[in-house]
Structure formats: structure tokens, C-alpha cells
Amino acid sequence: MGTDSPAEKWNPAEEEIMQATYEVLLDRGYPGLSISQIADELGKSKAALYYHYDSKEDLLVAFLEFAVDRFETVVSTETGDNPDEDLEHVIEKLLPLRPNEEQRQTQEVMIALRSQAVTNEAFKEQFTQMDEQIAATIENIIRQGIKNGTFRDVDATRIAEHVLAIVNGTMYTRATTTREDATAITRVSISSYLDSELRSHT
């Protein structure tokens, strides 16, 4: 990833390409994505994209890296000094109870791209990094809560990985089935799990 912050890492031209890629993915999905479609969305030639990226795959790997950076930026700027609220905030970002259409489409796009990671090592590397970033964010919030006495002394890594696994499974269910109640039920289950694991009931 390098040492640059997300804000410094992407120049305006690259950000414009990433936004255009996102719009085409929302509109056409992964199967309908092409360099030509992204160029049309940008209002530029295909050559302008090939100046930055050698292929569609290279562009999508960059898009996934961009998504990781955006998530890191959102979490770092919107979390604060209250571990309870911060934990709820991150889970809501990952698994919104009432997603708007854009949030729903975004999750569907990411699930479609994640499926490609089964056979694409470059995609697999980016999704590994994405999951590690999410797990680390949750773990750090829990550790902060332990430090300031909000949470009891627990294995923060284990709990973070458990929450991540539940979130990923629920996102997959939401994107690939019509089980509308599954997310709400899972959110209640996550809250109950965290309450049991993080808070003393003696």
C-alpha cells in the first residue's frame, strides 16, 4: 500500500477513473464492464485509460485498492473516543440495517468482484487486504475499549475475526438471496454476541 495517506495516494485523474468505474459497475455489473464503457462514462478515449492501466484487470485491482483506502478514510474520520459508538458505527457501515439503493448496489458489486478472487490472485490479494483492514479496525476499537475500561479484558483478535466472518456471510446472503429479514436478525445477533463478550455481567 505504501506510506501515502489515501488522500495523497490518488491523483485527480485516477480518482475520476475510479468513480467512472464505480458508476459502470453499478449500472452494468461486472459482466458488462469494459474499458470502452468506462471511457464513455468519462467522456474520454480508451487510450486515456490505457495510459494509466494496462488492462481491465489492472484497472479493477486499482479499483479494489481504492475501495480499501476509501473505507479506511471513512472509518478514521468518523470514529471517535467512544468504543461502544465506534463499534456500532463500523458495523452499520459494513452492514446497514436499511441500505439505500446505492449501498445495496455497492454491496452487490463487491460480492461480484469477490467471486472473481477465487481464481484471480490479484483480486484475492486486494480482498485479503480489505478484510484485514476491517478486522484491524474492529480489533483496535475493542482494544481501545479495554484500555479505557469500557470493555473487559478479552481476545480482541478473536472477536474481530468472528464479527468479520458474520458480516461477510450476511453481505453474501443479502446480495444473493431475497431473505430480507436476515440482516436485521444478524445485527441483533452481533449485538448480543458483543454484549456477552465485551461486557461484564457480574
Write the pLDDT tens digit of every residue in 156-170. 999 999 999 999 999
User: In this structure, are 104 and 165 located in the same domain?
Assistant: yes
Give every residue of the chain whose pLDDT is below 70, as ranges.
1-8, 74-79, 200-202
User: In this structure, are 95 and 194 located in the same domain?
Assistant: yes
User: In this structure, are 122 and 57 located in the same domain?
Assistant: no
- pLDDT on residue 201: 59
**If you count them, how many residues does the chain have?**
202
**How far, in Å, CA of 105 to CA of 102, rounded?**
5
Name the grid cell of 123: 483480486
Name the grid cell of 132: 484485514
- pLDDT on residue 2: 40
- pLDDT on residue 4: 47
User: In this structure, are 100 and 134 located in the same domain?
Assistant: yes
- pLDDT on residue 154: 96
Q: Long-range pairs for 20-28 at CB < 8 Å and ≥24 separation?
A: 21/59, 21/60, 21/63, 22/63, 22/109, 25/63, 25/109, 25/112, 25/113, 26/102, 26/105, 26/106, 26/109
Which of 34, 63, 92 is a domain's end point? 63
Domain residues for the domain of 102 are: 79-202
